[in-house]
């Protein structure tokens, strides 16, 4: 029996959070078992319901979410993951990941992630935030640890600026995510 690919999709507080529903849908249609984790800030942009409906899985919205069994959801998801995809990833979340901070379900999953799992990060933020030396230092740290990045893209930004900072196209993120889990196996 072939093991189904387990992808944890971490959604953070960016205007691009609405595109994560399409990501979840396409990854699920590809045959992956997708579990979604929404940060508190992500929930300011999108609710858990679309993700629950599209993935057919419960959505983790809080570090203390309970589910059946004894193991905390964030530990179980970290253990089972083949890929942690953070899309969109804000500057704040990238900093937390680089510094090893674990103050919500998503960052706890990242810190306890099964060592065989891949980490793919799709940034989306204001271009000045992306280009800031602190953000670039955090990106470099994560790349040294084996994280892969896709994007950001150039174009019109929600803040009204034109430039780098857009979430990479959903189809390309899906393609890269699936390549990583196939390459991993």
| Distance, C-alpha 134 to centroid of its chain | 20
Q: Is 91 helix (H, G, I), strand (E, B) or coil?
A: helix
| Cα dihedral 177/179/181/182 (nearest 10) | 160
Q: Is residue 120 included in any domain, yes or no?
A: yes
Q: Is the pLDDT of residue 72 over 90?
A: no
Cα–Cα distance for residue pair 31/127, rounded to 1 Å: 34
* CATH (domain of 109): 3.40.50.1950
Higher-confidence position of 9 and 154: 9
pLDDT at 19 > cutoff 60: yes
Q: Percent of the chain beyond pLDDT 70?
A: 94
Average pLDDT over residues 70-82: 87
pLDDT, position 1: 34
* Integer Cα distance of 78 and 64 in angstroms: 15
- Has residue 127 been placed in a domain? yes
| CA distances from residue 37 to 1, 9, 16, 42 in whole angstroms, order as listed | 28, 6, 15, 9
- pLDDT score recorded for residue 3: 60
1 part of a folded domain:
no
For residue range 132-177, what is the model confidence (pLDDT) as tens digits?
A: 999 999 999 999 999 999 999 888 878 888 889 899 999 999 999 9
Cα(104)–Cα(40) distance, integer angstroms: 8
Number of domains in the chain: 1
Residue 114 lies in a domain: yes
Domain that holds residue 96: 6-184
φ, ψ of residue 40 in degrees (nearest 5): -60, -40
Q: How large a percentage of the chain has pLDDT more than 90?
A: 81
What is the overall mean pLDDT for the chain? 93
Q: Tens digit of pLDDT for each residue in 90-139?
A: 999 999 999 999 999 999 999 999 999 999 999 999 999 999 999 999 99
Answer whether 110's CB lies under 8 Å from 84's CB. Answer: yes
Active site residues per annotation: 159
Interstrand relation of 33-38 and 118-123 (parallel, antiparallel or unpaired): unpaired
Decide if pLDDT at 44 tops 80.
Answer: yes
Asked if residue 77 has pLDDT above 90, the reply is yes
Q: How far apart are CA 10 and CA 83, in angstroms?
A: 11
- 163 part of a folded domain: yes
Whether 184 has a pLDDT exceeding 60, the answer reads: no
Is there a domain that residue 35 lies in?
A: yes
Kindly list the distances between the CA atom of residue 120 and the CA atoms of 74, 82, 134, 142, in Å, as whole numbers in the listed order: 18, 11, 20, 10
């Amino acid at each position: 029996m072939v093991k189904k690919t387990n992808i944890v999709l971490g959604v953070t507080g960016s205007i691009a959070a609405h595109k994560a529903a399409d990501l979840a849908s396409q990854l699920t249609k590809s045959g992956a078992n997708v579990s979604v984790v929404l940060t508190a800030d992500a929930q300011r942009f999108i609710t858990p319901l679309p993700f629950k409906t599209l993935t057919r899985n419960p959505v983790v919205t809080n570090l203390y979410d309970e589910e059946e069994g004894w193991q905390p959801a964030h530990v179980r998801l970290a253990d089972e993951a083949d890929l942690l995809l953070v899309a969109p990833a804000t500057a704040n979340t990238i900093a937390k990941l680089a510094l090893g901070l674990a103050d919500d379900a998503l960052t706890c999953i990242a810190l306890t992630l099964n060592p065989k799992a891949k980490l793919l990060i799709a940034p989306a933020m204001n271009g000045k935030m992306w280009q800031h030396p602190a953000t670039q230092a955090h990106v470099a740290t994560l790349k040294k640890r084996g994280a892969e990045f896709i994007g950001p893209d150039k174009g019109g930004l929600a803040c009204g600026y034109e430039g780098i900072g857009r979430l990479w196209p959903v189809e390309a993120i899906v393609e890269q995510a699936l390549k990583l889990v196939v390459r991993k196996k």
